[in-house]
Structure 1
């Protein structure tokens, strides 16, 4: 049962109510820390009312209303009332307030029922406005007063009126005061929010994004700047381009570049030293040492360097790519999960409002958001000498006149047909237009220059071509960079044999850095040069047979075998080396000359490549799988070649294998025979339809019949040729005691 009691005035006592002892906080006032202590209040009241005026008989604290009822035994009633109105200073937490007392003229109703506070009170029965004002004004300033409703300017005044005037007698009538609950602002705002979702939801989300941007964007720019400057050690480690030595024993970085690459390093240094609009493309086949050349050039660079490796950003889901890119450039914090929440929120809002809010961002927009922050950070680094109070005009003038202050941005693994690379290319173009940074793009894609030239048509695109080293230089590179780490007699004998051998022995490696390093590690392990080279070729042969001579959704086994067979047997030289690098061209010999297999002349029109569309699609898929490298003119592939010289040697070994080659040739002949047989069957079905016209055969159909007969004869000749090839393959296989009409194994033995 809820306890209810009335506080009545006892004989020889006076009852007063002190307000503003503490703020009237409602239920929050039940927290002890928000209220002054009872002893402190009693002491303050005793100090404000001397004992010769009145004595304190009882104190009843009302924390909800922020006050207390105090019963006095008065010696001088008039003086007591003046002192009570004067009040005292109340201290609570770190604040103070002035507590004022009022004489209780009614019969207050005190209860422990939780109740709401309000500045508005109602009086029953109704009173005239003047009388209501006279009654309530003594407790505090009124905001308005009409009919039987009065609103106080402060909540403390309303609490004092309810405590003192309830059940008081005025003009012969007993008055009852009640709290009038007021409509809370939060409820009003909430009701309006839910009634207008088309306006409020997008505005709220936009506000959240704005606040998040204002809070986190300076932190992200700080993170990017420290990443580029290498402030922290783990950032410095990542700026080494991953060129930690692949030596199995020493782990020494590759700080020695072969003589064939020194010209490339010097050329790249010259291009970087030239001031205006530095946009350099370092091109070359995969594994030709582009990364080493860039690292050697930037090793003594005083400007900050930022590396973005596109190779490590291909393959994962978009959210993972954005997160990896952010980690690569120092963009932190990043919340990739917010895009999923935004997508769900957009679906819900669209269902409620019937309109799109465009809250979610596409993959390109997320990448652009990261790169925009990086661009601002790079600009801050470049213009750091100007200080903090710099204007836009000052920044523009400084960047154009001080190219040496611009950071260097390196984009590795750039591809023209990659969506991420396209976003990066546009971003790099903006960096150059604004003179924010120097850009170096490393790529093995031959069509990149044309793509980049279309993005910056008014800028000079500088190119440094990294070519394969000739066998003599490759041999010297292996000897100089691996010989100092020889620890065993077998390894020492292997390097001695390599030194005595002719450099043309390394022709199958083609001067590729990664292949030369693999060859050198095998020599360090004690393998002989011939054994090491044979192991590399065999490993490449197994890789080709397992990855490309197997079932694929993008090409057939027959198509892959025809390409390998053609590349291994009939390469046709279409172009010489890049004439832009005359020094390298002079050093090259026939072993490293670029040769291309003509697509229009030797691929298009053969089995599996009958149409231009089919041929183009298949060759693009094979290039993406890194089996071949293509050459395009006007967007059309005109030439192909193995992706590396080691693959060319692997192709030759595969097509000359006495067991595996007949198996694959037989498979191609069987597939071709099946296609031609199906054509003959279709022709036979059409000609059977002409038999219903016999014996009155129309002369107009003779030309059609003759045409079909010629087609049948052509297909029959192909079928007979295929039968002959199959028979020859069977004879070769029978020599090994093995004949199988089923599909051959995808592995290369």
Structure 2
């Protein structure tokens, strides 16, 4: 009697393999039950002696199958064994696909089954099989013409098949039997019930398979160990060529990996990677235990092959694949991150931009806040607010025509592209926001100054995002992604796509803003309207009053050639107007704005508004209203006097305003000085002195001249000329020696110099019919400041001497040029008659230049005396 054993899983637990006759079996003493035998082939009607039960672990739980004389084991598979070794007791291994290999995971489940295999043979030999049972395939695969008798069936769920042990007559080898079965299956193909596209074929076992029921499952990788045939002997390590010749018959080999030569691991081994799983299963079961003799390359004492399935586990294979394919992985990650950003963050950013345009989160626009503010204002600052309103009201009354014109343009259906130009301090921003757009909620103000002055791409992106309410913004990621992109480019040779250019990131911000502006414009649309069936574009074209207004302030501030910020803003604004999404108003101090805007809208005419200085009457009224903001205790006839009524020095105000002009910034400065108790003349004198100091620092002194596009001599020439005349001819200045022959490389082009000085507001250029005509001072107060500077004899002598020195150098170069040409003509072997006029011309030029140099040197001598004698 065998020892008791516990059966964890048995194939007969499947309904299709369970014996039909009921059996009474003790689960924990299964080996004590005698199974029903099989009638012997040579003694019909008699029963053969019963052997002990054989399960998936082999006979007697040894893991091996024994075969006596004239016995063999068949195993059916979808591949046929082309060659087989013959011996006295061969085990023929027929592998039939009666179980799907993909279901081997079911063996991992904690199932327990009982039952016996004794009924399988009885049902097989007595044809007690149903058509859908897996054993039917085994029955069909063995034809009646083959003289064999099946003596035992061992299902192998892990391998997806079953062992078929049979007896064959004497005089016939197992190879001949395999050939008969294989030929029959070729002529009569049989397909498994679970895979109709695969045919069953036979394979012959040439080794001694080990049938274990461990939790080891098939894999495409087979480990071949080279062990000695007996203890104490040495095994030979087979070469790749020999392994290939042995195992290629079972299927295509993807790779053969031998043990490293310096490895100390025993026994020696090699890995065989098959292309298909079933081919690896057949090879493992057919070749396990095969002995390679000395004449076949197995060494002096022979070598035995021990096969086992090896999980082809690559440690960190995902990481290794990602690292080994950076050209694919890095752009894919960049695209994935971009997609996530668009899908997740873009709707959030559009929401915040809409809230910024609608002022949804602005506390100052809240009705309750406005009520409290009005109550507090009425109590504490009502008088000053009323005075301020009166003062500004006078200015707006003077410019009412401009305000009405702008409001009319915003109601027209045509593309609205308005440019409001004027010098700094002319009140452009207050005119648009406080008057023309007063009470309008759907407005967006974009100040270009902080965007242009931001240093670095990250700061520029943050400033642009803050201007439109674009959040969240990860500007700090730009630096990190740039480093990653640089590292990837150095590694793989191409850009990874993580980092984006400033142009692309600004484009994203403006694109999201355009989407939000369109949604704000369509908020007024209702389905019940008579034109509710129109498309979005047609509805926006028909309702210009619903479009938001985008105000772009400080456009072309610190204008630089090739500025990305201004180019992107102008292109984006052009797209808004052409698509009827919004009205766009540009506020600029630069008179050359048409060059930048014409690139974005080359086929459109801009609607322009030019703001100048206010009239003297309005300027005086503005200063007086500012002065009246201060309370006064003086009375006359029982009535309180306003500050301007009790001050007698305000009679000087008319003369002072003529000097300051109508620039709002200067008038505001004058009003603040008058409030401190200064007289108008004293206040104006200090303003002029301050302006003169600014001119010296910004235009004349040689401090930080790296970014200047003009020379000191050119700036002083304009200061001295405008101090004498209120206006200068544009072309006359260009023809002067200081502008036509400047030695400074950055100031060699006179037109560029004048344009740069106009942008810096030292001068202003007036046009006529589109061409520059006259040059005037940049600010009215500069006229008096220029006169103050020219009255300084030392300063005047210094800069005049610098101009004369530069002119002397220019003429000296001309003299050298004339002398060189005359020397060349004088060295000719003969003096032709034709060179006479040229020589006379050069001599005249030489004499004129020499005369100029002598005159300038005399003037320089006088100026040096002034510098040496005066402070």
Q: Return the TM-score normalized by structure 1.
A: 0.67
2:614 equivalent in structure 1: 469
2:417 equivalent in structure 1: 279
SS in 2 for 1:306: strand
1:598 equivalent in structure 2: 729
Is 2:635 the partner of 1:500? Answer: no
Unaligned runs of 5+ in 2: 11-24, 31-54, 58-62, 67-72, 78-94, 115-155, 166-208, 218-308, 371-376, 635-640
Call closer, same or farther: CA 1:643–1:319 in 2, change over 3 Å: farther
Contact 1:429 1:456 in 2 (8 A): yes
The one of 203, 213, 222 equivalent to 2:351 is 222
Is 2:840 the partner of 1:706? Answer: yes
Q: 1:281 & 1:495 partners in 2: Cα distance?
A: 44
User: Residues 41-440 of structure 1: matches in 2 within 5 Å?
Assistant: 78=27, 151-153=101-103, 155=105, 157-158=107-108, 175=212, 177=214, 178-179=216-217, 180=309, 182-183=311-312, 197-233=326-362, 255=389, 256-257=392-393, 258=395, 259-298=397-436, 300-316=438-454, 317-350=456-489, 354=493, 360-386=499-525, 394-415=535-556, 419-440=564-585
1:532 equivalent in structure 2: 683
2:625 equivalent in structure 1: 480
Q: Offset at 1:655?
A: 1.6
The one of 649, 672, 675 equivalent to 2:810 is 675
1:583 equivalent in structure 2: none
Call closer, same or farther: CA 1:441–1:106 in 2, change over 3 Å: same
Q: 2:505 & 2:604 partners in 1: Cα distance?
A: 28
Is 2:775 the partner of 1:630? Answer: no
SS in 2 for 1:232: coil
Call closer, same or farther: CA 1:562–1:458 in 2, change over 3 Å: closer
User: CA offsets per residue over residues 501-533 of structure 1, 9 Å max, x none?
Assistant: 352421232211111111111112222111111
Q: Offset at 1:17?
A: 8.9
Q: Offset at 1:195?
A: 5.9
2:669 equivalent in structure 1: 518
Q: Return the TM-score normalized by structure 2.
A: 0.58
2:696 equivalent in structure 1: 545
Q: Offset at 1:645?
A: 1.2
Pairwise CA RMSD of aligned residues?
4.8
Q: Offset at 1:706?
A: 2.7
SS in 2 for 1:281: strand
The one of 832, 852, 855 equivalent to 1:718 is 852
SS in 2 for 1:607: helix
SS in 1 for 2:722: helix
Unaligned runs of 5+ in 1: 1-9, 19-75, 82-104, 108-122, 132-144, 573-596, 739-749
Call closer, same or farther: CA 1:498–1:486 in 2, change over 3 Å: farther
User: CA offsets per residue over residues 150-200 of structure 1, 9 Å max, x none?
Assistant: 945374633659999999xx9997626335555579977666656655444
Q: 2:482 & 2:364 partners in 1: Cα distance?
A: 33
Is 2:481 the partner of 1:444? Answer: no
Contact 2:404 2:436 in 1 (8 A): no
Q: Offset at 1:209?
A: 0.7
Q: 1:173 & 1:453 partners in 2: Cα distance?
A: 87
SS in 1 for 2:740: coil
Contact 1:125 1:175 in 2 (8 A): no
SS in 1 for 2:741: coil
User: CA offsets per residue over residues 665-708 of structure 1, 9 Å max, x none?
Assistant: 122222322332343345445556677679x8666654444333
User: CA offsets per residue over residues 264-311 of structure 1, 9 Å max, x none?
Assistant: 333323333445433322222221111111122256333411000112
Contact 2:330 2:496 in 1 (8 A): no
Instruction: Give the structure, 1 or 2, with the largest relative contact order (CA under 8 Å, sep 6 or more).
Output: 1
Q: Offset at 1:624?
A: 3.7
Call closer, same or farther: CA 1:501–1:377 in 2, change over 3 Å: same
Q: Offset at 1:223?
A: 0.8
1:619 equivalent in structure 2: 754
Is 2:795 the partner of 1:664? Answer: no
Call closer, same or farther: CA 1:291–1:125 in 2, change over 3 Å: farther
Whose Rg is larger?
Answer: 2
Call closer, same or farther: CA 1:617–1:280 in 2, change over 3 Å: closer
